[in-house]
Structure 1
Amino acid sequence: MTIPQIQFPQSDGESWVVQKFGGTSLGKYPLNIVENVIGPAARHQRVVVVCSALSTTSKKEGTTNRLLKAYKHCLDSEFNISSIIIRKIRTEHVTAAYDYIKTPHLAADLVKIIEHGCDQVMELLQATRTIGLGTSYILDKVISTGERLACFFIATALRDRGISAEAVDLSEVASSIANNALDYSFYDSLARLMAKRIRSCQATVPVVTGFFGPIDRGVLSQIGRGYTDFCASIICMGLQAEELQVWKEVEGIFTADPSKVPSAKMLPVISSEEASELTFHGSEVVHYAAMRLAMRASVSVRIKNVLHPQAPGTLVVDDWRSTASSPTLVGSLECVPPRDQQDWMNDGDLEAPIAITSKDKIVLMNIRSAGRLKAHSFLAGIFAVFDKWNLSIDLICTSEVQVSMAVHSEASILGDEDGDFEPVRKDIKGAIAQLQDYGDVELLHKRTIISLVGKQATRSLGVTGRMFSTLSENRIKVEMMAHGASKITVSCVIREQDAERSVALLHAAFFAAPQAHTVATTALDSVNGL
């Protein structure tokens, strides 16, 4: 039996909303997403759905991670393990097709697509095994399979529920751009191409791959694992979308990780600069570069919960754009009391941070000059080494004779079989060998960066004092601090074993005043014109 497809009316004046879904949400709650999120939204406005690869348990066991493992084992001459991984991915997707798609011919067509996609991955891995060498292009092709399979799965699920939908494969779109250096010229060209492809879907719901094609040195190396967020932001640019909705399994952005701090409160509104800082310093909010691209295109970003689609979530507001005329913003602020009615924390301290975050798996590097170099030569040499190895520094403190740097030490994105992490990445090991030419190098492993984020926080002497007094009183040693490099963040480095306790103590110090409510100082200031 053929199910009639619902065609939603389209007009030039209709606004676009881009809905990006994470892999665990798609893997665990596909029908909830199709029936209670995408379907209702598509009845009122043009919707674009951006899919990450499916994950039925956790991100660690998701499709993308396992494709990466299959690629690694292929390089390590363990092709039999690669084959087993791909067979498991194939089985899981085929099972999902028959479990969730009730129309027989739609399920059969989806299974054919799954089989073909997995066969292509095996061919790529076999070719890699034969030549004995991997490339960023092959790696991009392998990992893009996860997004393609998820895209066709959700598009089929929508059609199975009578909603006209079309899978749009963008996994090769970037290859058609002559210069794919990651600059705004490339982003603009990519946005135009994506928008053209999506608009060709006419009145259907486009379901888009969150992978947008091979680029020089590979998507993972250049952008990282947040490339689906990045893709969604590029689409927003091309379509001039009204809003980017990032759907997760939490209500929004919190004052701390609610899984570690049960008393953490949700922030109804947050500035884009604060959200970017939270992302950079360890919170899984939205990819840092994706946030910047969305704000550049004047697109509002909202974090929402797939299990409670009617909840307003957290709205991320552009720091530099007037919000007075934004209907989305006005509606979302109904849950935030006017500033003069709020019961502020800490005796009315409006300069408190809005959130606390942590970033684990940090290596603290202390490099002391050998004494034969002038100060500027010492620093120039160190930065040249980091540039050569394409390493980013999370925090840095310098003097004429010593540099202390906090660097993320997580193993390469390919990881190992059981998901453990090497003490130091291979690129860091190479950098360390060269850094020893400039002085003595001390490495302190298993460190964590703790950060207080808030546009008012660094303006207050009390915030910094309270942070360090709280840690000191609880015998937690601060090994490095950064205050002033960012206008809205105060950070310090501590031992990883003290991290969870430190976050809980700081949250209690700043947010646990009697009858405290969540603070959204910056967003309220912009609305009130302060």
Structure 2
Amino acid sequence: MSTPSPSSSRSSSPPGTPPNLHQNSIDPEVKWLVQKFGGTSVGKFALKIAADVVANYIDDNKVAIVCSARSGSTKALGTTNLLLRAASEALTRRKPASASASGAATPVSRGLFGAGSYGSDNNHSPPTSPKGRSRSSRSSSPPPLFGFTPINGNSGVGSQPDFSITVDIIRNEHVAAARTSINDPHILKELEDEIERDCEWLRNFLLAAKIIDEISPRSRDNIIGLGERLACKFMTAVLRDQGIDAEYVSLEDIVPPYDGEIVAEKALPQEFYDSLAAALGERLKQCGARVPVVTGFFGPVPGSLLRQVGRGYTDLCSALLAVGLEASELQIWKEVDGIFTADPRKVPTARLIPVISPDEAAELTYYGSEVVHPFTMEQAIRRKIPIRIKNVENPRGGGTVIHPDPEADELASPTTLTHVVPEPVSLASLHRLALATEESQRKRLPTAVTIKEHIVVLNINSNRKSVSHGFLAGIFSTLDKFGVVVDLISTSEVHVSMAIGDSLPPKVLDRLIKALKQNGTVSVHRDMAILSLVGHQMRNMVGIAGLMFTTLAQGNVNIEMISQGASEINISCVIDERDAVKALNLIHQSCLQIKPETSRGRGAHAFV
């Protein structure tokens, strides 16, 4: 089974749309700008994206847009969650239930690669528009925006499996969003046809999977990828409805051939991603002055996209696209203003960080802050492309820049010496410069503090008088066997303390503990949290560790274990989860020296 492949050809502007659509800059000297929008932004702020973000950038840039699958009215109704649910339901056996009993919409036409319009092959009345007009009363539709010609199918209507009801929910959520966001009847009609066709493809795909009772990793990729295809078609229609000449770009067939050996447990080499980035860049350059709206899903990756990359593949796609286009900047649009010195929901005095180093951003991601996945960040940073985190609700805000130049972070700091020593340089002036530089280094403070909750601590003590060289090897091989990722670890000759997430099922955790007991006695501490203080070149911050632990002691916060990262840009400790918010605020005030009345001064490198 394969997904339908949209035509790569572009048509002229359809009738009924504004004659002068807003296009990308045609100046050959203008560089590309890649904007990635998350599912929540696409789900809630589609009109704002079109009118307040994209429209304000395309005059001075060549903008390319990457979209994640739409969020729903609730988290459970998010497109990706619904697609995963439908895939699971396809492999679940149950007695058939009647369509009328389910209360869900009756499916329309069937066909592996297409579906007819509403009411074409059955007796159901066509839905009405928000203004009460019947879809059938409209004039004939213009040439398609998405390069498809509808293919009508036919089937009888009977009882529906569970996955079919879930597909109806996906369809209804997208149709409702389209009718809320789009005014042009021709654009709306075509988008509704696209949604109908894609959902019928999914229904037939899952039916085939149910018959053979199997969904392969590649099939699961195709199912999940439908979320990005629907989101990008939706955004393309919204942009055109708002007068922007957008083009839907599917990347299902973009992955170049790869002759290397594929090992499921190992990641693909960087050479694969380099060739993929080049292919992405070449594809988008074919769009001319149109604004490409690109699916974050990029097709059949060797070894499965979900296995190789995970659900963060949309961010990775945007980074590879920025590399392939040699973009001036990669913008990741969220619902927050950028990266803060602490979680502003828990720390009222948290401040925005304008500039941050890639290492700092990676550490914050590892230890609880949702920034950008380090592997995704690496693709752009290694090509010297800045990554800017911006707020779709505050498009005029500066956001936070993850800058590839490590010196840029220091240049942004208000504590960095910026005056120029005049000529000639006297011995006295050199002495004053040295003192000023020393004072500047003393005033350098950490960048941010973060917390990672829902942690379990495992302590293993060797029960042998003479510890064998295999003590640590036995522990790590056990962790590898159970696929456990360790967040923090502290070791000695006879003792190992590990902090892991509590996401393991209880039975699996019990088996892990039983296996670890072969190496010694094991104690378990639940409901813990990792508190991490992050800052560039923290090894030069004399006394910062002492200040951190003294502050926690004075706040009556007990420390279970301590660990400093090998990169020397973070100091972490494990505390009781019930003390997490108190500890965050204490460290934020003492180590970052940010108090409620402070308006500027990022001790943690400039914030506003």
The TM-score, its normalising length taken from structure 2, stands at 0.75
Q: Does 1:114 align with 2:198?
A: no
Q: What CA distance in whole angstroms lies between the structure 1 residues aligned with 2:293 and 2:319?
A: 15
Q: What CA distance in whole angstroms lies between the structure 1 residues aligned with 2:255 and 2:502?
A: 30
| Aligned match of 2:47 | 31
Q: Which has the higher helix share?
A: 1
Q: Match of 1:141, as an amino acid?
A: N
| Aligned match of 1:182 | 268
Q: What CA distance in whole angstroms lies between the structure 2 residues aligned with 1:523 and 1:173?
A: 41
Question: CA separation of 1:375/1:86 partners in 2, compared to 1, >3 Å: closer, same or farther?
Answer: farther
Q: Match of 2:545, as an amino acid?
A: T
Q: Does 1:44 align with 2:60?
A: yes
Q: Is the 8 A contact 1:458 1:484 kept in 2?
A: no
- 5+ residue gaps in structure 1? 412-421, 525-530
| Pairs within 5 Å for 1:59-458 | 61-77=77-93, 80-174=161-255, 176-179=257-260, 181-320=267-406, 339=416, 350-371=443-464, 375-410=468-503, 422=505, 431-432=512-513, 434-458=515-539
Question: CA separation of 1:166/1:178 partners in 2, compared to 1, >3 Å: closer, same or farther?
Answer: farther
Q: What CA distance in whole angstroms lies between the structure 1 residues aligned with 2:349 and 2:513?
A: 41
Alpha-carbon deviations, 1:403-459, whole Å to 9, x = none?
222222336xxxxxxxxxx557x5x66655544443444333332211110014343
Alpha-carbon deviations, 1:39-78, whole Å to 9, x = none?
2211111111010111145656522123223333444446
| Aligned match of 1:416 | none
Question: CA separation of 1:88/1:501 partners in 2, compared to 1, >3 Å: closer, same or farther?
Answer: farther
**What is the aligned counterpart of 1:492 among 555, 573, 583?**
573
Name the SS for the 2:178 alignment partner: helix
Question: CA separation of 1:486/1:129 partners in 2, compared to 1, >3 Å: closer, same or farther?
Answer: same
Q: Is the 8 A contact 1:24 1:59 kept in 2?
A: no
Q: Is the 8 A contact 1:16 1:47 kept in 2?
A: yes
Larger radius of gyration: 2
Q: What CA distance in whole angstroms lies between the structure 2 residues aligned with 1:75 and 1:60?
A: 20
Q: Match of 2:182, as an amino acid?
A: I
Q: What CA distance in whole angstroms lies between the structure 1 residues aligned with 2:526 and 2:88?
A: 25
Q: Is the 8 A contact 1:375 1:400 kept in 2?
A: no
Question: CA separation of 1:121/1:203 partners in 2, compared to 1, >3 Å: closer, same or farther?
Answer: same
The TM-score, its normalising length taken from structure 1, stands at 0.86
| Aligned match of 2:13 | none
Q: Is the 8 A contact 2:486 2:498 kept in 1?
A: yes
| Aligned match of 1:415 | none
Q: What CA distance in whole angstroms lies between the structure 2 residues aligned with 1:144 and 1:279?
A: 25
Q: Percent identity?
A: 42
Aligned length, in residue pairs: 500
Shift of 1:277: 1.0
Alpha-carbon deviations, 1:12-63, whole Å to 9, x = none?
4321111011111111111110111112211111111010111145656522
Q: What CA distance in whole angstroms lies between the structure 1 residues aligned with 2:49 and 2:561?
A: 44
Alpha-carbon deviations, 1:150-173, whole Å to 9, x = none?
111111111112211111112453
Q: Match of 1:304, as an amino acid?
A: K
Shift of 1:370: 5.0
- 5+ residue gaps in structure 2? 1-15, 95-159, 419-438
Question: CA separation of 1:241/1:203 partners in 2, compared to 1, >3 Å: closer, same or farther?
Answer: same
Q: What CA distance in whole angstroms lies between the structure 2 residues aligned with 1:239 and 1:302?
A: 17
Shift of 1:347: 12
Name the SS for the 1:162 alignment partner: coil
| Aligned match of 1:2 | 17
| Aligned match of 1:515 | 598
Q: What CA distance in whole angstroms lies between the structure 2 residues aligned with 1:55 and 1:34?
A: 17
Q: What CA distance in whole angstroms lies between the structure 1 residues aligned with 2:448 and 2:176?
A: 41
Q: Match of 2:18, as an amino acid?
A: I
| Aligned match of 1:418 | none
Q: Is the 8 A contact 2:442 2:541 kept in 1?
A: no
Q: What CA distance in whole angstroms lies between the structure 2 residues aligned with 1:368 and 1:171?
A: 52
Question: CA separation of 1:461/1:265 partners in 2, compared to 1, >3 Å: closer, same or farther?
Answer: same
Q: What CA distance in whole angstroms lies between the structure 1 residues aligned with 2:209 and 2:466?
A: 46
Shift of 1:512: 3.0
Question: CA separation of 1:61/1:278 partners in 2, compared to 1, >3 Å: closer, same or farther?
Answer: farther
Q: Is the 8 A contact 1:270 1:520 kept in 2?
A: no
Q: What RMSD, in angstroms, separates the aligned Cα atoms of the two structures?
A: 3.1
Alpha-carbon deviations, 1:325-368, whole Å to 9, x = none?
xxxx99xx6xx757459xxxx99952421111111222222233
Question: CA separation of 1:473/1:301 partners in 2, compared to 1, >3 Å: closer, same or farther?
Answer: same
